[in-house]
Amino acid sequence: LPRCPHATQPPVPGRYAPTTTVIVRTTPDIRTFYAPTCLLKHYSGFFRAIIRDGKEGLGHMVQLPHDEPDVFGLFTTWIHIRSLYISLTPEGKIPTDWALICKAYVFGDTYKIPELCNDAIDLLFHKGAQISQVPDSEAGYIYKNTTPETRLRKYFVRQMTLRFEFRNLTKELDKYPKELLADVIV
């Protein structure tokens, strides 16, 4: 995908030291990540605010007790390669599943990482176009973890309005949040 013209240039790779230790836990899964402090601070308003410059060469430690390690792992991949997947499948498909892309957006929104949110929306669009589907299985997650103003929810409502097969709706009415149904009608 082409880069957004408003995307920022990351720091020079030779200047990635020191690292920040990030402990991410969702019971029972607890994982420790080591990420370049300068990249965390470059992309995230949250990390800029909580990681203070200390003595040169010393790392920092941050705990994220309510986040999923897989989502943070995807974020650490993203800060290095600026992509939410490493390569396409042998069939040429985007390998990242709907749920993880949506969780990456929510993570980016929570931790003030607008470029991650942009890339998540782009990937949802491209994945949907590739397989001619809408991530309707993620409706509950999106409505539980976003507000009406967030771009993920607006994107989702637009895609549901354009692509969803409403003739099947009566069979699966309980599957979708009532708020989504109201948003699609309005």
Under the banding of pLDDT at 50, 70 and 90, the label for residue 12 is low
Give the span between the Cα atoms of 31 and 29, in whole angstroms. Answer: 7
**What mean pLDDT is predicted for residues 177-184?**
84
Q: Which residue(s) pair with 60 in the sheet?
A: 20
Question: What is the amino acid identity at position 106?
Answer: V
Domain ranges of the chain: 19-82, 91-185
Q: Residue 34's beta-bridge partner residues?
A: 21
Q: Tell me how crowded residue 63 is: count the other CB atoms within 10 A of its CB.
A: 11
Residue 183 confidence class, pLDDT cut points 50, 70, 90: confident
Q: How far apart are CA 7 and CA 4, in angstroms?
A: 5
> What are 21-77's pLDDT values in tens digits?
999 987 788 999 999 998 999 999 999 999 876 544 456 899 999 999 999 999 999
Residue 183: name the closest of 131, 137, 146, 130 by CA: 146
Please state, as a whole number, how many other Cβ atoms lie within 10 Å of the Cβ of residue 48.
Answer: 13
User: Exposed, middle or buried: residue 72 (CB in 10 Å: 0-12, 13-18, 19+)?
Assistant: buried
Mean pLDDT of the chain: 86
How far apart are alpha carbons 129 and 31 in whole angstroms?
A: 34
- Measured between alpha carbons, how far is 37 from 48 in angstroms, rounded to an integer? 9
Q: Look at residues 111, 106, 105, 108 and name the one whose alpha carbon lies nearest to residue 50.
A: 111
d(CA 135, CA 98): 6
- Return the structure tokens found at 35: 């990420």
